[in-house]
Amino acid sequence: MCFLQIHRITIEARKMKQNIINEAVPLFIQYGFKSVTIDDIALKMGVSKKTIYAHFTKKETLVETCVFMHFDNVIDKILNISKHSKDPIIGLYQIKKEALNHLSNEKNSPVYQLQKYYNNIYNKLKKMEFDALNGMFSRSIRKGIDMGLFRSDIDIDFVTRIFFNGIRGIKDIELFPIEEFKIDLLLLNFSEYHLRAICTDQGIGKLNEYKKELNI
């Protein structure tokens, strides 16, 4: 087999692998990682299970690949929101709105199923989340201090880590069972709790203005 043939086969294999991911991600997001089977994905693509297993030796490998690709897309959106928000208070509410597009109280929700059935992947995701967003939230707090919205005496690194820990906490399905707590209200209450802890009087005034504007 010549080099050009090998190169073409390699390109085709990469395309098929990406096609599998592209088809699997929306199915996983809509129906849940546990609920969607390799059969479902193969049927949607019009290929055999053997074709999928040629690229992903087990379902967990495909789930992990899809989770990390989707995560990268969500992180890009969040970073873009933070970059273009006029101040860190409204920015946090805009990020909350984006986050709610990827969270739900259903048992087929990605976060619920990752925690329950793919905890190893979920733990990797938590570390990736902190590594990807730690710098952004630190800069956001610094910006708020410079604008007079956040207290100048706060420890930025401490507040950032506490914030992440709080976000992880409200997504914990054992601490906040989805049958009893609505994720949108948890995010709303935690965002206000966080902001009121670090805002100056000027920041509190701005927060109250935004709440009126957003009708929350």
Query: Is the distance from CB of 96 to CB of 191 less than 8 angstroms?
Result: yes
Q: Measured between alpha carbons, how far is 110 from 114 in angstroms, rounded to an integer?
A: 6
Give the pLDDT score at 4: 43
Q: At what angle do helices 156-170 and 183-198 cross, to 10 degrees?
A: 160
Q: Measured between alpha carbons, how far is 35 from 192 in angstroms, rounded to an integer?
A: 35
Give the pLDDT score at 10: 61
pLDDT in tens, the chain (216 residues): 554 444 454 667 789 999 999 999 999 988 889 989 999 999 999 999 999 999 999 999 999 999 999 999 999 999 999 999 999 999 999 998 888 777 665 666 788 889 889 999 999 999 999 999 999 999 999 999 999 999 999 999 999 999 999 998 998 888 999 889 988 899 999 999 999 999 999 999 999 998 888 777
Apex CA 98: angle with CA 94 and CA 101, to 5°?
145
Note the Cα 69 to chain centre separation in Å: 11
Q: Measured between alpha carbons, how far is 210 from 216 in angstroms, rounded to an integer?
A: 9
All residues at 6 or more sequence positions from 129 whose CB lies less than 8 Å from its CB, including other chains: 71, 75, 164
User: If 0-12 CB within 10 Å is exposed, 13-18 middle and 19+ buried, where does residue 152 land?
Assistant: exposed
For the chain, domains (ranges, CATH) are 1-57 (1.10.10.60), 59-214 (1.10.357.10)
